[in-house]
Amino acid sequence: MNSTDAGYVLDLTPEDYQKATVEVAFLLDAFASTIDNIMGGNTAPVGRIAGRDTAKKLPLELVDPSLQEIVAALAEQMQAGFEFRLEGDRLSFGSCILRDMCALRKIPTGGALCHLFHSYFDGIVNGLLCRPVKSSIESVGEACALRIAVQ
């Protein structure tokens, strides 16, 4: 990749991307583990607050959206790292960059990083729907699923 926007040329190799992915995986693991340790496992408020803040900054203009419309818009926004769809109250994840990062660090899925992310996702949906949202992890593995409850 060459970039001359700032007057410099940056040549990145596939090896550079792999190293960056490993570094980001390490940092995400450290971040989620630290929050989990400080909060005693109750990281949901941290994730939800961050998600609501993110919702305010997303380049989306949704007028009185349904949960299905929000999830579809988020699927498009997040498609570089995630593939997910909503069927009823079940949110199914096909590809997931966080699951890939966990695999790099040999971290089991469904742990602190997954819980923090899903609370973050709840916060985004809450911020866009203007109603409380809470998900619970139903299954983890090659494909993950959540149950979403909207109040």
Catalogue all structural domains in the chain, each as residue range(s) with its CATH number.
14-150 (3.30.1380.20)
Express each pLDDT in 94-143 by its tens digit.
Answer: 999 999 988 888 888 888 899 999 999 999 999 999 999 999 999 998 88
Express each pLDDT in 25-67 by its tens digit.
Answer: 889 888 888 988 888 878 889 999 999 999 999 999 899 999 9
What's the chain look like in SS3? Answer: CCCCCCCCCCCCCHHHHHHHHHHHHHHHHHHHHHHHHHHCCCCHHHHHHHHHHHHHHCCCCCCCCCHHHHHHHHHHHCCCCEEEEEECCEEEEEEEHHHHHHHHHCCCCCCHHHHHHHHHHHHHHHHHHCCCEEEEEEECCCCEEEEEEEC
Ranked by mean pLDDT, which of 19-23, 25-29, 75-79, 96-100 comes out on top? Answer: 75-79
Confidence (pTM): 0.85
pLDDT for the residue numbered 5: 57
pLDDT for the residue numbered 4: 53
